[in-house]
Each structure stands twice: as structure tokens, then as C-alpha cells.
Amino acid sequence: MATRKKKADETGTEAEETAAAKKKAKRPAAKKAAVKKKTASKKSKGAGSLATVEVSADEEEEATPRGKGPHYLVVVESPAKAKTIKKYLGTGYTVKASVGHVKDLPKSKIGVDVEHDFQPEYQVIKGKEKVLNELKKAAKSVDKVFLATDPDREGEAIAWHIFEELGHKDSYRVLFNEITKKAIQEAISQPRQLNQESYDSQQTRRILDRLVGYQISPLLWKKIRRGLSAGRVQSVAVRLICEREDEIKAFQPQEYWTLDALLEGASGPPPFKAKLSKIDGKKVELKDRQTTDGLVAELQGADFTVAKVDRRERRRNAPAPFITSKLQQEAANRLHFTAKKTMTLAQRLYEGIPMGEEGQTALITYMRTDSTRLSDDAVKQVREYIGGHYGGDYLPEEPVAYRSKKSAQDAHEAIRPVSLEYPPERVRPFFDQMGEEDMFRLYELIWNRFVACQMKPAVYDQTSADIAAGRATFRASGSTLKFPGYLKVYGAGLTPEEEAANEKAKAAGDEGAESAEATGELPPLNEGDALRLQKLLNEQHFTQPPPRFSEATLVKELEEQGIGRPSTYAAILSTIQDKKYVEKLEGRFRPTDLGVMTNEMLVKHFPKEMAVAFTADLEEKLDQISEGGASWKAVLHDFYGPFKETLEKAEAEMRDVKREEIKTDIPCEKCGNPLVIKFGKMGHFLACSNYPDCKNTKDFKRDAEGKIVIVEEETTDEKCENCGKPMVIKRGRFGRFLACSGYPDCKTSKPISIGVNCPDCKQGYLTERRSGRGKIFFGCNRYPDCKFAAWDRPLAESCPQCQSPYLLQKFSKRDGVYVACPNKECDYRREVQQPAEASAPSAA
């Protein structure tokens, strides 16, 4: 299900009440009766009961104990957030946490009455009774209740449900984008009514997800396998991954050649490269060796002369401040974080971390936003910071403004630090004390992006030269950084937007795209200069299929297609992996056998609901509801009528994979009966048709022509310790393992050793295992007695510097494969030589 879940802090469920609150005098009986009076359950009546209230922003300074003045209850979502806010409010305030949602649709049934205008049946979430009782108790003795849940649609829904349960007649909604003293005081001084449209939009999303998930999922359980799920958004995400895999499989590589000239200018070495760009004034495509070799022979005796030189400045503008999706993409590219990890860490930065004498302090603004807008105060602060730390040369004359995309709700600011008083170098010691290196790295990324977005562009001196040689034209490009601008803070790596723009320009045949990527200087070149040819380099290439999606590129695709909302992406990516529809190998998503089959059946029987455009259109309708431009009930009626008909048809026509047996002409080597193709937990497999009398099974694959090829079990020299038969390698839910070849008569099995003794217990050995999410890790075979585990592959060699009993083989995008010591205090590291490319350039 795509709707994100609010996380609870295990350290507690509420902020402590003040001592003064405990001394509250008894209220008059009439006042008590008024407080206890419940509001109507209808949301429209609830909204009508909210009145405008004026509360001074300075009231926290003047707040007096109960019995001597007003007292207020502030309800937030997380205990950490409650702790941070409490220090900004006086003794007249009690701050408590709901720990996320308090009510939801029931788990045991659909919980939506489709016959009566989709009336939802909300229930108090199991385990939340205690939290609600504490909130109700606190609300009885206060003058006003401020509902300060997150400033988005889901936060609005939580606020509504708390309002309905507390039944306090003086309840108000307060919103703040950052947890600072100023923001909180302003929010408390400007309360408003609950927003009916925002609540209706979120409720519609929840009902849509329930209608789809709770009606298609049981069908998948019945037809394919128990435990499967379908979702209005998650299933479309799986479809994108499956369709990309189909493109890769169907891709036919095309041969092409490139021709470069290694040239030397009049000033002598060093030589530089020029790329063939035109023949007879037209763009050239070299498709085979024969054509290329003929051109090489033709150009060997040609004179190479500089025909044209173009010198200009190229400006590279700073990227916009982070919105949710861009933060997830950059954290994946630069920090190698999953979307889920990024959002979890960002949530904690928003709620606040302990900072010594300053106490619990929030560091970033709200992290679920699609707006690049920045407050005037924030821009003023960062401009002062840039001028003071980098000088006036780096500061634009006017603040840089960024335009949000058309579909942006623009409800919040961009993601930024709450204050320029907390630069990374100042707060790092607090992260170190917490052991939160990754949280610090994310904060540093957000800080750098915010500062960079208000700095001047980077400026390059770029030179391009056209070089004539007979009827051929070569192009040489070079660029040098003249002024770093924002790169001084943010680094030279391309952002996802820049990479996409370059790829688009290349596909359109724009020579400027390649020139923009050129680095390094060219020698002094002038028109008419004669150049000396050192050699011609011709190289064979083959076109490559589209790449599989990484977390960053899948988030980018979902955003561009309008599928879901950025706040839901982390949950979507987690769910499709948890359900085993996709697996992540080498950082890229691949559909599993289960994912391919499920997608195929959903797309076939629910073509409209699983269409990308249909899902995006529903998101637009949800936006319209929140803006008051559409009725939530009308949207649900328009959706459910056709969906119900499609569901009934699918129930009757969908293949029953669980009971399906596809006959083959392959005989069982044990009993002679034909083998059949079945589908199980590990995907398709061959089984004897004489089951259960014969339990023989085989793995198989299909060759290029689609013919079944049996995958023989991998044998080993190891003997079974119980029956003496050879052990074979099999694959299971958690990866490969050793099993007796005498199965099912002998059921002996054990993990496969990677040849490294366990460094912790010194008794067991390390094995390759697979986590519940499908990620490979290495652990001791004596688990759970020994709980050693490592994500990187341990190597059976000691560290030459600190004598650690093992080393780790690691991988990074920047450095590739390398070996390092697991001891954090030891800096031993060595590179791993990669095998040379099979196709090396030839020289003529």
C-alpha cells in the first residue's frame, strides 16, 4: 500500500506534563460539562464548531500555571517532535504525541460501504487506546487544543481523527514548516479551522487504495499465491520495471564505429584528440569495419588543418533547493541511500536531535514537499552567509528564484536547514556522539544544496575547433573551470536533471552536449593552423539497451509520469521488494518470476487500472479535491463503477496458476512419467506428474528459441554426514545451500561456506545468505548462537597493518571494487585490478 506510515519513537509516547499542570485547580461543574460534550461525528459539523481564536505569540513567556490562567494542549505526531516543541512553549502548554495515526480502516475487512456513498468505517488502531485515553484525559482540563500534526494531507487526516475522538469544542489546527521558536509561536498565534478539502483528498486516496488492494489482492491469493498484494500505485511501479526488462530482452544491439584522430599542434606536445563528426559536410555514421577501414586508409595522407575555432564562456547554473523526490534521487546517487533510509533520516532531522545545552533541536524544514519556494528570511540569511564565507564574488546581485512545476501543491517551502547558525562543522560532534554518520551526511547534503542554490553559476572557458582533413571534419573540444561559483560548495558531479538534459541533447544529435562534457585544455589553436597526425584510432562499439531502473531513476520516472506522490515513493519501493515482485541486484531493479507473472495477469485483466496515464489522472483528481474543485464522492463513483465490472470479469477469466500444470514431453528419470511445469515460492519449476507418489523436481530455463533446458544440480565433493551420498547445491528462499542428493529419503542440509572462519565465535564459518528483502549478506553458520553479519564479502586474509583476522571486499560507484580493513581505526585499503576490456581500440 502506497500510503506512508508514521513511525513511532520507542523511547516514549508523550512529552512530560509540567509540574504546574499537575496543580491545576478544579474547574466549575458547568465548565466540566461543556468540555465533556462530544462533537458530532460528521466532519462538516466538526468543522463548523471551530471558531477563530487570537493567541499572542508571546503568550509562552506569560503563561501561568493552571488555576491562575489559560492552559493549552498541543498534539503532534512524534514524541521526538513533541520534545523539541516543548522547549519553545511555556508552562501553560502541555505537548503530547499521537504517535502517528490513531484511527484507520479495519484490517479484517474492506471497511468501506460502497452502497452508501463510500462511507468509511474508521476504528481506533489496535494498541492506540492508551495514547488516545491519555490525550482525552489531558484535553478535559485545558482551555484550547492545538492540533499540530504534519502540514500535509495525511497530517490533516490525523488531526481530524484526533479532533473527533477528543471532542473538545475549542480545537484548532496549527501549521508550521519548520520547528523553530519563531515558526511555532507564529503558528500558535494564527490557528485556523481544520481543512475539509485536504481531509477529503486524503480520505479519497485511502479509500481508493483500500478498494483496489482489498479486492484485487484476494484474487491474487486465490489464483497465484497467498500473501501477494496489489496496489493502485505499487502495481504500476512493478509494471514499469517489467516493461523495462522486456525492452532489454527485445533489444537487438547494432554495430557502430568511432574514429578519432590523435593530433599535435604547432606548439608541439602534448597531443589531443579530435572526433570525426562529418563527411562531405554531413553527419557521419560508421556502421561496419569495412567502411571505417576505408576511411582510415583515405585519411592517412590527408592534411589536417584548423578550419574554425569557437571560444566562449559556458555557464552552469546552480540546481534548485531540494524537493522530496530530488532529495531521494541525490541521496541515492551521492550517498547510495535507499529512498526509505533517506526519508527516515530526514524525518529525524526535521523532528530534532539532542544538541547538548541547546536540547532537542530541529535542523531541517518539513521534508515532504514538491515546492522549490524559499522564505524571504531564509534567502536573506543564506545571502549573508555566502557573502561572509565566500565573498561578494560568489553572491548574485539579486536572490535566485526557482519556479515550481505546474503540478506542485506549493504548500510548503523547499527542504532546507532551519537556521544558518547550524553549519555542518558545528553540529558534527553531536552526530558523532549519536553514532549517526549517515544522518550527518544527509544533513550536509541538504545544507550544501541550499547554500549552493543562492550562489553564482560556475563559469567555464570552452573551446571547440573544427578540423578539416580531406572531405572529413573532426571536432576537438576542451573546457577549463574559470570560476567555480556554486561548485565551491556543491561539487562538480552532475545532478539527475543535468544528466537527463545531456542524454536528451545527445539523442537529438546536439554536438554541444558532447562539448559541454569535455574537460581539459586544448593547445593554442588558430584558424589555418596545420596539425600533425600522430595516429587514427578506430574503435568498434555496439548500441546498449536501456539501463534497468535504480532507486534514483525509478523515483525520477514515477515523478515524471505523475504516479503517486513523492511522500509515497519510499513506501512503494519497499513494498515491491518485500513482496518479492522485484529484486535489487548491483543497485538495479529486476523483476522476479513472480513479479513478471503477477504483472502480466494484472495488466491483462485490469488494463485501465494498471495504465500509467490512468494512475496519473487519479492523482490530478485528488489534487482537485484538495483545492475544492471536485467532489470526493463523485471521484469514487466514477472510479468504482467500471472497476467493479472489471473485477467480476477477472474473477471468472484469470488463470488459476496455483493449480495449473503445463505438460511437457520430458520424462521423469525416477519413474518415467512426464514432467509438468508448476509455479511455487521460487518461481516456475518442473515436477513429476505422478506427485505425490513421486516427488522429483527440477529447475529449468528456456533457451533463445524458448525450449526447456533442465538446470542440473551443482554437485560437490562433500559427502552427507548422515547417509554418505554426495551433497549438491540447491537454492532456496534465503539463497544457495548444500543438500543431500538422497532427498527426500535424507533431508540433511547446511549452509555453504565462503572459506572464512567466523571472526567472532572462532567456531563456525561464514556463509552467503539472503535477507528477507533479497539482499545478499554474510553471516555465521552458527546463527542464532553467533550473530556475526556483514554486508560486504569477507576475505580469508589478515590485515597487514592491524592484523584484523579478515578483510572486506567493497564496491563504490566512484572507485569500483576495492579491499579494506573492517577496523574503523585502521586505514588499510588497496585497489582491485579489473580485467581489461575485451575490445581495445586499434591504431592505424
The helix (run of H) or strand (run of E) holding residue 281 is none
Residue that is written with C-alpha cell 556543491 in the block = 490
CB 99 within 8 A of CB 78: yes
Q: What is the DSSP string of 94-120?
A: EEEE--S-SEE--SSS--EETTTTTEE
DSSP helix/strand/coil, 141: coil
Residue that is written with C-alpha cell 529447475 in the block = 699
| Residue 794 dihedral angles phi and psi, to the nearest 5° | -70, 145
Give the number of C-alpha atoms closer than 13 A to the C-alpha of residue 45, restricted to the C-beta side: 8
Q: Is 366 a catalytic residue?
A: yes
Which of 93, 350, 366, 390 is catalytic? The answer is 366
Cα end-to-end distance, the chain, whole Å: 60
Taking alpha carbons only, the member of 7, 2, 3, 86 closest to residue 348 is: 7
CB 337 within 8 A of CB 438: yes
CB 551 within 8 A of CB 544: no
CA-to-CA distance for 155 and 102, rounded, in angstroms? 11
687-716 residues labelled b (16+ CB within 10 A) or e (exposed): bbebeeeeebebbeeeeeeeebeeeeeeee
Taking alpha carbons only, the member of 798, 769, 800 closest to residue 808 is: 798
Other CB atoms within 10 Å distance of the CB of residue 540 = 16
Read off the C-alpha cell for 693: 507418489
Other CB atoms within 10 Å distance of the CB of residue 721 = 10
Read off the C-alpha cell for 11: 523511547
| Residue 764 dihedral angles phi and psi, to the nearest 5° | -95, -170
CA-to-CA distance for 387 and 375, rounded, in angstroms? 19
Strand partners, 680: 683
Enzyme catalytic residues: 366
